[in-house]
Amino acid sequence: MKGASTNICYNVLDRNVHEKKLGDKVAFYWEGNEPGETTQITYHELLVQVCQFSNVLRKQGIQKGDRVAIYMPMIPELVVAMLACARIGALHSIVFAGFSSESLCERILDSSCSLLITTDAFYRGEKLVNLKELADEALQKCQEKDFPVRCCIVVKHLGRAELGMGDSPSQSPPIKRSCPDVQISWNQGIDLWWHELMQEAGDECEPEWCDAEDPLFILYTSGSTGKPKGVVHTVGGYMLYVATTFKYVFDFHAEDVFWCTADIGWITGHSYVTYGPLANGATSVLFEGIPTYPDVNRLWSIVDKYKVTKFYTAPTAIRLLMKFGDEPVTKHSRASLQVLGTVGEPINPEAWLWYHQVVGAQRCPIVDTFWQTETGGHMLTPLPGATPMKPGSAVFKQPWPGIMRTVYGNHERFETTYFKKFPGYYVTGDGCRRDQDGYYWITGRIDDMLNVSGHLLSTAEVESALVEHEAVAEAAVVGHPHPVKGECLYCFVTLCDGHTFSPKLTEELKKQIREKIGPIATPDYIQNAPGLPKTRSGKIMRRVLRKIAQNDHDLGDTSTVADPSVISHLFSHRCLTIQ
């Protein structure tokens, strides 16, 4: 593909509008956090907005190859912003809006982003998230580290109603919120309102023609050293791969209504909310809310409302909803559903069977798709209708054009992380078992990574957040089985002299982790550990700690533990309930 030139935004929008005549087709049905708060956007409308915003970015001096950070909830402007970057050849670096200001700052610095796009605030269920405040904190931290970001574009989302503008995403009257409007602070000279810039922007914009191997975006994923890796995907290979996997894995047909519940802040959202469906001219649902707000009917009522045909979600959501029984599902029709998908973590057979029997009424094939941020798109999956299914397994597919090309700014880390262990092979970091029929069963991570609700976290990342607290001398974090999250965090902390373990300290440590990483990394258990099991060379034995957390006395060989007495102490002081 070297030497070919293309533009992914052109392919997913202009080509669909002008060549395929899909201009009037709905690209997204947007469903807000609050039921009744909805809008829809056609391919033509999306193209116009993307061109306008591309012009805005160019006017702000953004050029091909520049990095743009995006920190937004699931609103149509997020799609517009990412496609506009792609149109002008700038790399988007989307940071999930559940990450802390510290994480955002770290990512902005790592790829030296010259501009940030964010939002005033949003609701996640009943929780108000003052995103602008977090964005401000992040930019302040960047400034302190001698990296001033010169421009921050802010979408008025929560305050949208007061704009009274035609471009409000609420075609129906905006919902009156019980919560008072958030006050956001404004940095003169840096902050600019999205809607004001868009009003002045022209709606035609020539795409920047890119080499197939030009970078398209950066997306950070946890790394076992604790420092997130900026995974780089390129225009041509990624485009081909997400378009093809979307088409075949979900057995796409023109009349489908596709719904992937993942946030665009993760790779699943990049590939199967934005690029894959749009490349195929599909209609999708874009959902801002959560499965349990205002109640557990939400997902199935949306399925019925838009007659969703293909539905793609995470095992953690299935396990969460399973707890509420069959009735919230079965009281909805779900007749439109044809294919169900899962992604993000191994699905336990019980959840698979419930998904198949209750949600899919035994007539929908399940595609359990195993893949990674690094792979761009699906790697192992059954094909609907073509592969006899077994609960919890995934079937191998061919190697692929959509593989990441490098770790941003650190190609050596790319080579050592993925290609060193087995020369000539790409290592995912997951264990896998192949059964006698040739099915692959993913058994979980083989490195120091944890998978909490489908989100990868590194133990090192959480441990370093813990030891930054003045009371903590040493910390060790292990994964622990959790009925909904799949895995949760169980932390052992050794305190510095003069500090005592207390519920107040536990709260402080949790807060510390939320601030350093984000709410997804909040531990469920924190145990006081006057000593940790270590080898004689001083290496913490996480294998032993995992067993202690589970009260499993079958420790295997402990002859290498330097001081065995710490083990019995830890067993007798285990955390019995979630804190």
Residues that bind ligand WTA (CB under 6 A): 221, 266-268, 343-346, 368-373, 394, 428-430, 442, 445, 451, 456
For ligand WTA, give the closer residue by CB, 34 or 447: 447
**Shortest distance, CB of residue 328 to ligand WTA, whole angstroms?**
25
For ligand WTA, give the closer residue by CB, 214 or 368: 368
For ligand WTA, give the closer residue by CB, 96 or 123: 96
**DSSP per residue over 252-294, as a string?**
--TT-EEEE-S-TTSHHHIIIIIIHHHHTT-EEEEE-S-TTSS
**Shortest distance, CB of residue 544 to ligand WTA, whole angstroms?**
23
With a CB cutoff of 8 Å and minimum separation 6, the contacts of 389 are: 356, 365, 366, 382
For ligand WTA, give the closer residue by CB, 282 or 343: 343
Token reading at 464: 């370093």
**Shortest distance, CB of residue 113 to ligand WTA, whole angstroms?**
21
For ligand WTA, give the closer residue by CB, 13 or 478: 478
Token reading at 116: 């940030």
For ligand WTA, give the closer residue by CB, 149 or 242: 242
d(CA 456, CA 462): 12
For ligand WTA, give the closer residue by CB, 277 or 533: 277
With a CB cutoff of 8 Å and minimum separation 6, the contacts of 232 are: 91, 215, 217, 218, 404, 405, 406, 407, 408
**Shortest distance, CB of residue 502 to ligand WTA, whole angstroms?**
35
Phi-psi region of 251 (alpha: psi -120 to 50; beta: other; left: phi over 0): left
SS3 (DSSP) at 341? strand
* Residue whose pair of structure tokens reads 């998908």 in the numeric block: 341
**Shortest distance, CB of residue 238 to ligand WTA, whole angstroms?**
14
Question: 284-315 in b/e burial notation, b at 16+ Cβ within 10 A?
Answer: bbbbbbbbebeebbbbbebbeebebbbbbbbb
**Shortest distance, CB of residue 343 to ligand WTA, whole angstroms?**
5
**Shortest distance, CB of residue 512 to ligand WTA, whole angstroms?**
24
Token reading at 198: 């868009």
Beta strand ranges found along 168-214 (DSSP E): 191-193, 210-211
**Shortest distance, CB of residue 244 to ligand WTA, whole angstroms?**
16
**DSSP per residue over 37-64, as a string?**
-EEEEEHHHHHHHHHHHHHHHHHTT--T
For ligand WTA, give the closer residue by CB, 47 or 340: 340
For residues 355 and 250, the answer to whether their CB atoms sit within 8 Å is no
For ligand WTA, give the closer residue by CB, 274 or 372: 372
Nearest position to ligand WTA, beta carbon = 373
**Shortest distance, CB of residue 272 to ligand WTA, whole angstroms?**
9
For residues 155 and 72, the answer to whether their CB atoms sit within 8 Å is yes
Phi-psi region of 95 (alpha: psi -120 to 50; beta: other; left: phi over 0): beta
